[in-house]
């Protein structure tokens, strides 16, 4: 009887799954959301058999929730997860990934700062049997348009992460990542970061578990509407690095 129930659960899982889930964490992006979904749909149609797009809309106040709801009603492949209160990007991603159906899980910034021509390589890395893949703006082949201050801050931050946490990743914070389903869901509850630091923490924890991670050089163009406060968020991220270092140091087996 137990074996029969197990088979039924497996069949249900296969019937409900899709090849790829793309998650967009969204806060107050009513003006660009529809265009982003259309561009992503067009790109996925060129190489993915089945997919879903999850709009993880995080307590928006500009009507983004209405736009997202409308898109989900008009398109069977779009799902809208609404949060009444702003959770932060990290919590919104965790919620969305836990509700996803894809075997390959992807998240991208809604402004499509990373050129979508790299999406096939990002997803392909998981098909090649990597556990995680991430875009990098700091590899020699990468091209990115940022102010000098932001380039300097990014390089300093990533150097700090690599030095203190032993990471070999060149760019932890690029909002362009893919994951194999089982490894990500296996560690996602260990990731405590609620907002921007989620990207770094998930990669560092994956490295500690010796998952295979691939970095992909990308073309990246920052948005003028960035929600990042350079001074405040840099200080907070630095504190988060130290906090994670201490947590890993005190919980690692001796």
Mean pLDDT along residues 169-196: 95
Q: Which residues are catalytic?
A: 199
Correct CATH for 2-145+173-223 of 3.90.1200.10, 3.90.550.10, 3.40.920.10, 3.30.70.1060: 3.90.550.10
pLDDT at residue 144 above 90? no
pLDDT at residue 14 above 90? no
pLDDT at residue 8 above 80? no
Sheet holding 18-26, edge to edge: 78-83, 51-58, 18-26, 102-108, 176-180, 132-136, 213-217
Tell me, what's the pLDDT at 224? 55
Q: Tally the C-alpha atoms within 13 A of residue 196's C-alpha that lie toward its C-beta.
A: 18
Higher pLDDT, 152 or 219: 219
Q: Is the pTM of this model over 0.75?
A: yes
Mean pLDDT along residues 88-112: 96
213-240: per-residue pLDDT in tens?
999 999 999 765 555 555 666 788 888 9
Mean pLDDT along residues 46-74: 96
Mean pLDDT along residues 156-179: 95
């Amino acid at each position: 009887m137990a074996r029969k129930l197990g088979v039924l659960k497996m069949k249900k899982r296969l019937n409900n799954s899709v090849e790829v889930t793309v998650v967009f964490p969204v806060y107050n992006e009513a003006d660009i959301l529809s265009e982003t979904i259309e561009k992503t749909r067009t790109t996925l149609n060129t190489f993915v058999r089945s997919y879903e797009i999850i709009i993880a809309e995080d307590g928006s106040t500009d009507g983004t929730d209405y736009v997202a709801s409308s898109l989900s009603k008009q398109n069977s492949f779009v799902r809208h997860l609404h949060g009444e209160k702003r959770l932060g990007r990290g919590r919104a991603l965790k919620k969305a990934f836990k509700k996803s159906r894809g075997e390959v899980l992807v998240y991208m910034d809604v402004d499509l700062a990373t050129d979508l021509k790299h999406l096939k390589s990002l997803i392909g890395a998981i098909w090649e049997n990597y556990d995680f893949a991430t875009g990098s703006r700091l590899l020699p082949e990468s091209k990115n348009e940022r102010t000098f201050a932001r380039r300097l801050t990014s390089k300093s931050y990533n150097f700090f992460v690599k030095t203190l946490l032993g990471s070999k990743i060149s760019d932890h914070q690029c909002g362009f990542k893919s994951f194999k389903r089982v490894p990500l869901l296996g560690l996602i509850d260990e990731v405590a970061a609620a907002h921007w630091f989620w990207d770094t923490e998930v990669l560092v924890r994956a490295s500690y578990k010796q998952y295979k991670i691939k970095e992909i050089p990308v073309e990246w163009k920052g948005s003028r509407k960035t929600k990042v406060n350079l001074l405040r968020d840099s200080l907070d991220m630095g504190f988060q690095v130290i906090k994670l270092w201490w947590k890993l140091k005190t919980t690692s087996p001796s």
